[in-house]
């Protein structure tokens, strides 16, 4: 499998040695290029995900979805983006101006920050620290603050109720989310994202195969908790249109609303991407121990494996959203505190015992 670090090392030596730019300018140029790549990938994936949801939703509802703007409606999202950029940005008279303005940026920063941890290919991870899983969960928590400030700063009773619901829901489900990730860390023995992926390189090496039933339970609970963390249906109670108009972003227009809209879709991809990385091998192909088959699998680029698995999980999340009705707030909290978190704790203990006794696939 191609190691992308060969390209990054060559480009770094080109700047430092061939062009003689020095450390400061070389690092500055590299950081700018990485930032441009992150934002470009973020925007393009958002467009793909929005179009994908509209088509998947239409499929489940036995209709066609957007069809008029461009062939098969592929330019509908671009038309919506252009319309949103032209929308007037207004301010609520009695809102807390500082909180009202800061909230969308906090939500977007949390989304972009977690998105930056995605391991696209071997050697192509942008942020890859030795405590990567810890940092990933810490940065994702910033989004809770943005949601709460959006509702509180809008000075709208519907937005405040929505923000309180969102904060309680997101903080609650972070418990199960983190416990599932800790279960994977116990099995792999590292918190570094590239290390977790490399630990899944053997035959049937993906964690859902290595860790037996506890790994499968952690994977399923992670998807459920991640869906709730991203405020996606049937856990979209903070944005319950029939009760709260648009929830915590009711008072936002133009790109203020656009930031929340982008973050929602990319958070869904981040959940799918983290699940792919931790439980399904990330960029790693599936190996079954047969030399010819494994060699063929290795010929497929790692980014194809990663995106293929991630979009498969996105499709599963969309399937869940358009198949189940919205839950009540008491049902959402009961599911977490009475079922998912105790199950995750027991599962973590079980995984620890399995690792201590060496009963996992090596």
243-282 pLDDT, tens digit each: 777 778 888 888 888 888 888 899 999 999 999 999 999 9
Contact yes or no for 111/105 (Cβ under 8 A): no
Chain-centre distance for alpha carbon 17 = 37
pLDDT in tens, 299-352: 899 999 999 999 999 999 999 988 988 888 889 999 999 999 999 999 999 999
Structure tokens at 64: 């066609």
Quote the pLDDT of residue 272: 95
Provide the percentage of residues in the chain whose pLDDT is more than 90. 48
Mean pLDDT of the chain, nearest integer: 89
Contact yes or no for 124/304 (Cβ under 8 A): no
Q: Check residue 281 and report its DSSP letter.
A: -
pLDDT surpassing 90 at residue 205: no
Contact yes or no for 303/261 (Cβ under 8 A): no
Structure tokens at 271: 């959940």
Total residues found in the chain within this entry: 362
Q: What is the pTM of this model?
A: 0.92
What CA–CA distance (Å, rounded) separates 214 from 293? Answer: 28
69 to 61, 74, 181: CA distances (angstroms): 20, 7, 42
Confidence of residue 116 (pLDDT cuts 50, 70, 90): very high
Quote the pLDDT of residue 95: 82
Confidence of residue 240 (pLDDT cuts 50, 70, 90): confident
Quote the pLDDT of residue 227: 92
Quote the pLDDT of residue 362: 67
Contact yes or no for 106/145 (Cβ under 8 A): yes
**10 Å Cβ neighbour count for 257?**
18
The DSSP annotation for 157-200 comes to: HHHHHHHHHHHHHHHHHHHHHHHHHHHHHHHHS---HHHHHHTT
Question: Coil, strand or helix: which one is 119?
Answer: strand
Structure tokens at 225: 């908790």
What CA–CA distance (Å, rounded) separates 31 from 17? Answer: 18
**10 Å Cβ neighbour count for 195?**
16
Chain-centre distance for alpha carbon 285 = 21
221 to 1, 32, 264: CA distances (angstroms): 31, 37, 20
pLDDT in tens, 42-76: 989 999 999 999 999 999 989 998 999 889 899 99
């Amino acid at each position: 499998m191609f190691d992308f670090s060969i390209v990054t090392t060559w480009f770094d030596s080109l700047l430092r040695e061939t062009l003689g730019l020095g450390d400061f300018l070389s690092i500055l140029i590299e950081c700018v290029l990485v930032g441009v790549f992150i934002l470009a990938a973020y925007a393009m994936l958002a467009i793909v995900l929005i179009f994908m949801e509209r088509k998947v939703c239409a499929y489940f509802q036995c209709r066609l979805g957007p069809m008029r703007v461009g062939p098969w409606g592929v330019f509908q999202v671009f038309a919506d983006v252009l319309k949103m950029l032209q929308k007037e940005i207004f301010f609520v008279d009695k809102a807390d101006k500082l909180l009202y303005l800061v909230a969308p940026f906090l939500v977007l920063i949390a989304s972009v920050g977690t998105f930056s941890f995605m391991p696209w290919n071997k050697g192509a991870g942008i942020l890859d620290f030795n405590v990567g899983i810890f940092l990933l969960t810490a940065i994702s928590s910033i989004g809770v603050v943005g949601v709460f400030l959006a509702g509180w700063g809008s000075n709208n009773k519907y937005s405040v109720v929505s923000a309180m619901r969102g904060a309680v829901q997101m903080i609650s489900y972070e418990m199960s989310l983190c416990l599932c990730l800790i279960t994977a860390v116990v099995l792999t023995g590292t918190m570094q994202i590239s290390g977790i992926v490399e630990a899944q390189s053997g035959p049937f090496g993906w964690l859902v195969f290595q860790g037996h039933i506890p790994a499968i339970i952690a994977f399923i609970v992670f998807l459920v908790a991640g869906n709730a963390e991203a405020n996606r249906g049937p856990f979209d109670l903070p944005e319950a249109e029939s009760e709260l108009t648009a929830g915590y972003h009711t008072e936002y227009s133009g790109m203020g609303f656009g930031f929340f809209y982008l973050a929602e879709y990319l958070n869904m991809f981040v959940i799918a991407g983290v699940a792919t990385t931790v439980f399904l091998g990330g960029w790693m192909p599936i190996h079954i121990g047969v030399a010819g088959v494994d060699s063929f699998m290795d010929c497929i680029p790692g980014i194809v494996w990663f995106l293929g698995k991630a979009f498969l999980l996105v499709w599963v999340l969309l399937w869940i959203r358009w198949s189940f009705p919205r839950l009540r707030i008491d049902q959402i909290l009961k599911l977490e505190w009475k079922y998912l978190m105790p199950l995750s704790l027991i599962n973590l203990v079980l995984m620890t015992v399995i690792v201590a006794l060496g009963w996992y696939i090596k």
